[in-house]
Amino acid sequence: MTGKKYEPPLHLDIDFAEALERFGATDKKEVDELIAQAKKKKPPKDKPPAAKKKGGDPG
């Protein structure tokens, strides 16, 4: 084993039939719009980006 830890499985309080019904009622266009909207959001700025060194390798 590699010792890699995995997240526990996702447990939903919904039966399979209801989940399938909701999935079937999903509008692809609406999902695509939400994905595009999420991509436009800027991530929060916690730390300033690392400063890049100017110049080349001194060797």
Residue-wise pLDDT tens digits, 4-41? 899 998 888 999 999 899 989 999 999 999 999 999 87
Count Cβ neighbours within 10 Å for each residue of 15-48 and write b for 16 or more, e otherwise.
Answer: eeeeeeeeeeeeeeeeeeeeeeeeeeeeeeeeee
CA-CA-CA-CA dihedral for 28, 29, 30, 34, to nearest 10: 100
**Confidence class of residue 48 from pLDDT cuts 50, 70 and 90?**
low
Predicted pLDDT of residue 4: 87
Global pTM reads 0.39
Q: What percent of the chain has pLDDT over 70?
A: 69
Residue 48 has which token pair? Answer: 């300033």
